[in-house]
Chains A and B, each alone.
Chain A
Amino acid sequence: GENVEQHPSTLSVQEGDSAVIKCTYSDSASNYFPWYKQELGKRPQLIIDIRSNVGEKKDQRIAVTLNKTAKHFSLHITETQPEDSAVYFCAANSNSGYALNFGKGTSLLVTP
């Protein structure tokens, strides 16, 4: 299946700082890139997504950027809060469109 690489695997920031998580994908047919937040023992929850016809999307403190040429996309969280602490997964859709291929996750810790 398609490879989605995610970095870093862990990220620790102080409350109020920004956090950036980066992903790369290999399949040029991918056109949908969601980000999920997963708290311990809970289901992944969609926090933001971007489609290939858009370069950037913002929703309050969260933004996602996409560089289709370089096959990179990134999640930016500004003014981080302790409740942002969770594991964040990026994903890219498969060339069939049905499946999502996930990155390995970034464990974000926001310290007060």
Chain B
Amino acid sequence: EPEVTQTPSHQVTQMGQEVILRCVPISNHLYFYWYRQILGQKVEFLVSFYNNEISEKSEIFDDQFSVERPDGSNFTLKIRSTKLEDSAMYFCASSEGWDSSYGYTFGSGTRLTVV
């Protein structure tokens, strides 16, 4: 079964540092997403991305966040200057259709710890 791959699985960074989280979506999927989950809390939508553009973003996705598809396979989330409250599990997801009803496939996540 095709998988969404995320690297690294765990990243520890100092407050104020930039981090880049990487994702390789399923190859025939065209729609990409980032979600985060603070420990013990619900999964929260950050951003959706299609055709090299952000299609929707939440209020969490402020100017400190950016996304990019630098080549034909990777999809990245950058946090410019990390804060303690950015510590969370970050999940990438992809789907083949334009809206969520096509079903997401989530990656295994990157646990970000900001110290």
Give the distance to chain A from B8, nearest Cβ to Cβ, in Å.
15
Cα–Cα distance between A85 and B101 once the two chains are bound (Å): 26
Scan residues 92-115 of chain B and give those whose CB is less than 8 A from a CB of chain A. Answer: 98-101, 103-104, 106-109
- Interface window among A10-18, A61-69, A72-80, A89-97: A89-97
Flag if A104 contacts B42 (CB, 8 Å): yes
- Judge whether A25 is part of the interface by a CB distance below 8 angstroms: no
The number of A-B residue pairs with CB atoms under 8 Å apart is: 68
Flag if B41 contacts A42 (CB, 8 Å): no
Tell whether A99 pairs with B43 under 8 Å between CB atoms, given A43-B107, A49-B103.
Answer: no
Tell whether A96 pairs with B56 under 8 Å between CB atoms, given A42-B108, A43-B107.
Answer: yes
Q: Tell me how many residues of A have a C-beta within 8 Å of chain B.
A: 26
Interface string of A70-112 (1 = CB under 8 A from B): 0000000000000000000101011011111111110000000
| Residues of chain A contacted by B99 (CB below 8 angstroms) | 32, 93, 96-98
- Judge whether A26 is part of the interface by a CB distance below 8 angstroms: no
Interface string of B75-98 (1 = CB under 8 A from A): 000000000000000010000001
| Residues of chain B contacted by A42 (CB below 8 angstroms) | 108
Flag if B45 contacts A105 (CB, 8 Å): no
Flag if B45 contacts A43 (CB, 8 Å): no
Nearest chain A residue, comparing its CB with the CB of B60: A1
Interface string of A32-53 (1 = CB under 8 A from B): 1010100000111110010100
Binding site for A on B (CB under 8 A): 31, 33, 35, 41-45, 48, 55-56, 58-59, 91, 98-101, 103-104, 106-109
Binding site for B on A (CB under 8 A): 1, 31-32, 34, 36, 42-46, 49, 51, 89, 91, 93-94, 96-105
Q: Could you list 6 further interchain pairs (A-B, Cβ under 8 angstroms) beyond the known A100-B43, A102-B43?
A: A1-B45, A31-B101, A49-B103, A97-B99, A98-B56, A99-B33
